[in-house]
Amino acid sequence: MKLSSFGEKLTNGSGIVDLMQDLGSALNENPNMIFMGGGNPARIPEMEAVFKAQYKKLIESSEQLYSTAGVYQSPQGELGFRRDIASMLKQEYGWQLKESNIAVSNGSQSAFYILFNLLAGQMPDGSFKSIHLPLTPEYIGYNDLGLSDNFFTGSKPEIELIGDDQFKYHVNFDDLSVGEDTAALCVSRPTNPTANMLTDDEIKHLDSLAKQADIPLIIDGAYGVPFPNINFVDVEPHWNNNTVLVLSLSKLGLPGVRTGIVIANEQTIQAFSSANTVINLASGNMGPSLTRDLFASNAIIELSKQYIQPFYKQRSQQVMALFQQAMTDIPCRTHLSEGAIFLWLWFEGLPITSEVLYQRLKQRGVLVVSGHHFFAGIDDQWPHQHQCIRVSYGQDFSQIEQGIKIIAEEAKLAYQQG
């Protein structure tokens, strides 16, 4: 089979493909693997009980079951679902939203594929525009979404050292250049992979730069407010007419329903919906059908506060303490855990690359993600890129404890061998 340039781009290997293959193997085919790699959410009994009740209501109603599985929805997604989301956000935050400001996608990954390529790449006048990532490392799933080469540019962070074994990334605004070739700024908040939380001041500064350049600020809120609210520090939610906010049902505990939510000005939503129709025909109905009642009653916000955020905050603290104990003889720093479901480890002066460490850990039955995949748009060989790994703490706690022990053993061995 001879592949097109598009085919070669999508089949020549990428970090997100490796990650999802590892995820599928660990969760479905090889249960003996210790899965500390991808972003599959934890099983939270209280949330599973809520979803079970919602499934039951769906199955018991012939009309609701038919509207879920038997009809196509409009290109923007089911009207009532979008209307309930708009009403909830307007009530909670005062955002001036209508259903026309919201579109549904088949997962947020699909949403970003459409959004990025609507805005960046080869332009009608022959020029080329890119998506700029103001704070790398950034989400691994962005890397290969662009249909053109050099689709992303990125800025290295400022690194604040905290105590003997922690650190935090900050946007380096002195290094952040927004030129005519920049189509949009994009950040995740809280940040995947690092558990960093951009401060309110950083978001305001980015918003100001985007407005001055007449480009959108895209915020990936898959882990943030208003749901699933996996935030461990207090920050203000952000949206305005120049912001594209992308949310997801996945981290509520519903990754399999593949439902993303795009919130933007009406012009952006219209363009997105047209492209989404060409690519997907329509978005799936299962996610909106299962959760519409939760949005209509604002229960989704309370459930996030009551069950999801406390679960991950406690787990984060537990796992952070275990890593600090295990790494006492290793030059390892952990990024402040301010949200999401990951820890980001920086092995200063690591004699091997993080990719080699990943492979060694995989041989010992522990799956993590090598940090070098998360630096899209950074073209130089910055050593820091190859000294970090991302670990997830959403799975069985006893397995996580065993995984931490093995990670520490392999890291110590790497330093000893030099």
Report the sign of the C-alpha dihedral through residues 282, 283, 284, 285, in that order.
Answer: negative
Cα 128 to Cα 173: distance, rounded to the nearest angstrom: 23
- Examine the fold and report which residue of 298, 324, 339 is the final residue of a domain before the chain moves on: 298
Cα 146 to Cα 152: distance, rounded to the nearest angstrom: 8
Q: How many CB atoms lie within 10 A of CB 154?
A: 23
Cα 228 to Cα 248: distance, rounded to the nearest angstrom: 8
Cα 273 to Cα 129: distance, rounded to the nearest angstrom: 22
**Per-residue pLDDT, 28:** 54
pLDDT < 50 regions, the chain: 27
**Per-residue pLDDT, 153:** 96
The CATH number linked to 327 is 3.90.1150.10
333 and 283 within one domain? no
**Per-residue pLDDT, 274:** 96
- Examine the fold and report which residue of 298, 332, 356 is the final residue of a domain before the chain moves on: 298
Domain hosting residue 153, numbered range: 74-298
321 and 280 within one domain? no
- Examine the fold and report which residue of 273, 298, 323 is the final residue of a domain before the chain moves on: 298
pTM to 2 decimal places? 0.94
146 and 272 within one domain? yes
**Per-residue pLDDT, 121:** 96
Cα 222 to Cα 263: distance, rounded to the nearest angstrom: 13
**Per-residue pLDDT, 19:** 57
The tally of domains found in the chain comes to: 2
212 and 174 within one domain? yes
Is the distance from CB of 189 to CB of 168 less than 8 angstroms? no
Is the distance from CB of 287 to CB of 303 less than 8 angstroms? no
361 and 261 within one domain? no
Cα 264 to Cα 69: distance, rounded to the nearest angstrom: 28
354 and 245 within one domain? no
360 and 329 within one domain? yes
CA atoms lying within 13 Å on the CB side of residue 175: 15
**Distance from first CA to last CA of the chain, Å, rounded?**
44
**Per-residue pLDDT, 38:** 83
Cα-based torsion angle of the residue sequence 383, 385, 388, 389 in order, rounded to the nearest 10 degrees: -150
327 and 188 within one domain? no
| Nearest one of 239, 247, 262, 297 to 84, comparing CA atoms | 297
244 and 343 within one domain? no
25 and 124 within one domain? no
Residue 52 included in any domain: no
